[in-house]
Structure 1
Amino acid sequence: MRAMARLLAQADIEIDGERPWDMRIHHPQTAERILARGSLGLGESYMEGWWDCDQVDEFIARVLLARLDEKVGTTALMVQGLRARLFNLQSLRRTWQVGEVHYDLGNDFFEAMLDPSMAYTCGYWATADTLEDAQAAKLDLVCRKLELRPGMRLLDIGCGWGSLMKFAAEHYGVNCVGLTISREQAEFGQARCTGLPVTLRLQDYRQFNRGGSERFDCIASVGMFEHVGAKNQGAFFEMARRSLEDEGLFLLHTIGKNVRRTPTDPWIDRYIFPNGDLPSLGQVCDASEDCFVVEDVHNFGADYDRTLMAWHARFEAAWPRFAARYGERFYRMWRYYLLACAGTFRARSNQLWQFVMSPRGVAGGYRRPG
């Protein structure tokens, strides 16, 4: 326990202290488990009620700012990194796992946590005061960056419940096709878009438009690239290129990491997003360079902190409706997921990038809308 206390002191965190980011330990083996297993041990012991903290988000932010994650649980990180190097964790055979484990939890659950648009990606808080306004601002920003006009065809790779397509069809008069690997999302999203020129397809991006016969005026991928994996990024951009008109624009919205050599967080991989892989800025550029010119890169990762905290507030308020279905362990898992992720963005360990790309370069240059 003393070793744990000395380590946490570097982040101005006390064991059994009184501040909201201090750690209250309930189980005698908590320190041993965290020191041995790092992030995996920290998250699992929280799920099992071994420790508590009033502000898990601030606790995680302080841990990351003090770089304590680099000093514990190195074996788990090494194993995770080795798995990623030796195997294609995002192969076509494995790709449906994240849909089944995460996105198929229940549409009513996500409806309760998200805003009415059902956007499950970072909101844009530049002038917004509410989650609903931040998500509308994000969707509109994407549409304006793509320079959408009535009659255009938009492909949405990883369309979720259709939030972008619904917004683009209603506000910009665009015809949309979306791809998802979640059956729940496909059925629910299609129902939400009834009467609009929107089609959701239950299909992996690698199986789409293999012959290149379908062409779209613009393409967006908002919050899906995190599931592609380094070994498949080239195939992802090749698919986007063969599906895009030569004068079209492609917007890629993705969470990213600062350093490419860091593996996926083992706890997130095991419990929240199986086979996820955050790209670095350099990896995106390397993978896309044979297919696209990068016209614009916009980082508003700090907005994800606020988005996750808003989701957490809605999750907490709605939890009594779901407690009997999911149970206490799920509650602690999901709470830890939302708050810990908020902490990573607060510490600027994770980023949120929007790239705008073109196949040949925009004549005269691309101007990001204000």
Structure 2
Amino acid sequence: MRTERLKGIFDRLLASAGITINGNNPWDIQVHNDKFYSAVLESGSLGMGEAYMQQWWDCDELDEFFTRVLREKLDARITLTPKFKLEILLSRLFNHQRPAAAWRNGQKHYDIGNDLFEEMLDKHMTYTCAFWDDALTLDAAQENKLDLTCRKLNLKPGMHVLDIGCGWGSFARFAAERYGVKVTGITISPEQAELARKRCKGLPVDIQLMDYRTLHEKYDAIVSIGMFEHVGYKNYRTYMKVVHACLKDDGIFLLHTIGSNNSSTFTDQWMNKYIFPGSMLPSIRQIGQAVEGLFVMEHWENFGVHYDKTLLAWYDNFSHNWDKLSAKYDETFFRMWKYYLLSCAATFRARSSQLWQMVLSRNGIAGGYAFTRRPAAIQLH
């Protein structure tokens, strides 16, 4: 009786998004275990994700299912449990991105195994949003992004650039090779640092294993691509003060980050537990408060729609190369990673998540900021 009542709740909720339980459309969910209903109502997104990992439900097009759910804001219609409310309270009381925790959080995701990321990403191993204007492949789209980023920074030969959260060295290598600059990249992932050093061998690139809070040198330009999501709202101001202190008076800082339409002090429960512990998406207001009095906002662009296509490309690579990875990673991991990539794609398609690139200066650029937006027809490829 209870199962039928719970199923009825889901029937009504999902129907408003055009989703039918055990229906025939590719975005309809197929429920294999009735525990699914109570798991979601009791634990929200955590229960939904864990139920999928346990094969309690399936969907042919997960990305489209979540897109419909998010567009109708169905996630907001489920009452928060006391446990979730407690977690929100704790997130406001404690700094879950303090230095020691940041190291643990970063390594849980980025040290999973370089083999996974090598099979999933482009040839540069760029684990951030690609720019797809006139690009037919992931490689070309990521080169679009890297080149546009270099041009927004107005890089010139001989400049010394800081890359905060350098990953596997994609930007550092590209900027050093194509623009003749020296790059210092920092990461808190030993696996990333080791491979980045190999990939940048022979170039004026120095990869250091360190937390951004220990930076102290001055740089001509600073870039941070896909790292700010790990900073945490309690540290946004600290982060900006560090960048301000490390940027020369006439330097440019480019921040590339996923952003949220709403200010929040916590993150999705499932994502926090299984994919990006301690992660948090900043809002416009939170970024504005963090930079106020420190920087002049010179330029701001939203490339959010490009992340949908990027995540789908990563999923295609991951699934097509699964036979090379399956000896090391089990079926539960496959479902977890599929759920992560496709549910994230949906957040950008539904426009509930954004991807921002913003350019900031310390004192305002005399005469105004400008960069060369080279026509797509002659983009690097």
- AA of the residue aligned to 2:15: A
Partner SS for 1:12: coil
What is the match of residue 277 of structure 1? 280
User: Following superposition of structure 1 onto structure 2, how do residues 237-252 of structure 1 map, counting pairs within 5 Å?
Assistant: 237-252=240-255
| Residue from 162, 171, 183 that aligns with 1:176 | 183
Letter in 2 for 1:83: L
Aligned pairs for 1:135-150 (under 5 A) are 135-150=142-157
**1:58-97 per-position Cα deviation (integer Å, ceiling 9, x unaligned):** 1011000010000125225533422220110101110112
1:92-151 alpha-carbon deviations (Å, 9 max, x no partner): 110112222110011111000000100000001122111111100000010000000100
**Residue type of the partner of 2:247?**
L
Q: Which residue of 1 aligns with 2:379?
A: none
Q: Among 223, 227, 231, which residue is 2:230 paired with?
A: 227
1:368 deviates by 4.4
Partner SS state of residue 363, structure 1: coil
Residue matched to 2:290: 287
- Do the aligned partners of 1:256 and 1:352 also contact (CA within 8 Å) in 2? yes
| Cα distance in structure 1, aligned partners of 2:364 and 2:54 | 52
Query: 1:367: Cα distance to partner?
Result: 2.2
Instruction: Assess if the C-alpha contact under 8 Å between 1:37 and 1:72 holds in 2.
Output: no
1:201 matches 2:208: yes
Residue 325 of structure 1: SS of its match in structure 2?
A: coil
The equivalent residue for 1:265 is: 268
Query: Is residue 67 from structure 1 mapped to residue 87 from structure 2 by the alignment?
Result: no
One-letter amino acid of the structure 1 residue matched with residue 339 of structure 2: Y
How many Å separate the matches in 2 of 1:252 and 1:276?
16
Over the aligned positions, Cα root-mean-square deviation in angstroms equals 1.1
Structure 1 position 78 matched with structure 2 position 85: yes
Deviation readout 1:244-296 (Å, 9 max, x if unpaired): 11000000000010010363111101100000011001111110112111111
Q: Which amino acid aligns with 1:52?
A: D
Alpha-carbon displacement from aligned partner over 1:162-199 (angstroms, at most 9, x marks no partner) = 10010000000000000100000001000000100001
After superposition, the Cα gap between the structure-2 partners of 1:333 and 1:73, relative to the gap in structure 1 and judged at 3 Å, is: farther
Secondary structure at 1:96 match in 2: helix
Q: After the TM superposition, which residues 111-190 of structure 1 pair with which residues of structure 2 at under 5 Å, given as runs? A: 111-190=118-197
Q: Does 1:16 align with 2:16?
A: no
- Whole-angstrom CA distance in 1 between matches of 2:9 and 2:47: 16
Matched, 1:303 2:306: yes
CA distance in 2, matches of 1:142, 1:81: 35
Conserved? CA contact 2:308–2:349, under 8 Å: yes
Aligned equivalents of 1:218 and 1:236: distance in 2? 16
**Partner in structure 2 of residue 35 of structure 1:** 41
**Residue number among 17, 31, 52 corresponding to 2:58 in the alignment:** 52
The alignment of Structure 1 onto Structure 2 pairs a total of residues equal to 366
**2:63, 2:221 → 1: CA distance?**
37
Give the Cα–Cα distance (whole angstroms) in 2 for the partners of residues 73 and 184 of structure 1.
40
- The match for 1:93 among 100, 110, 115 is 100
- Work out the CA distance in 2 between the residues paired with 1:73 and 1:54: 28
> Would the alpha carbon gap of residues 80 and 368 (structure 1) be closer, same or farther in structure 2, given more than 3 Å must change?
farther
TM-score (normalizing by structure 2): 0.94
Residues 1:183 and 1:73: Cα distance change in structure 2 (over 3 Å): farther
Q: Which amino acid aligns with 2:193?
A: A
CA contact (8 A) 1:77 1:263 kept: no
In structure 2, give the amino acid aligned to 1:53.
Answer: C
Q: Residue 99 of structure 2: SS of its match in structure 1? A: coil
1:100-111 correspondence to structure 2 within 5 Å: 100-111=107-118
Equivalent in the alignment of 2:4: none
Q: Distance in 1 between matches of 2:254 and 2:296?
A: 12
SS in 2 for 1:27: coil
SS of aligned partner of 2:101: coil
**Structure 1 position 158, deviation (Å):** 0.4
Are positions 1:253 and 2:256 aligned together? yes
Query: Normalising to structure 1: TM-score of the pair?
Result: 0.97
SS in 2 for 1:94: helix
Quick check: 1:33–1:42 contact (8 Å CA) kept in 2? Answer: yes
Match status 1:338 vs 2:345: no
Percent identical among aligned pairs is: 52
- Distance in 1 between the 2:346 and 2:286 partners? 24
| Equivalent residue, structure 2, for 1:6 | 12
Kindly indicate whether the alpha-carbon contact (under 8 Å) linking 1:37 and 1:73 is maintained by their aligned counterparts in 2: no
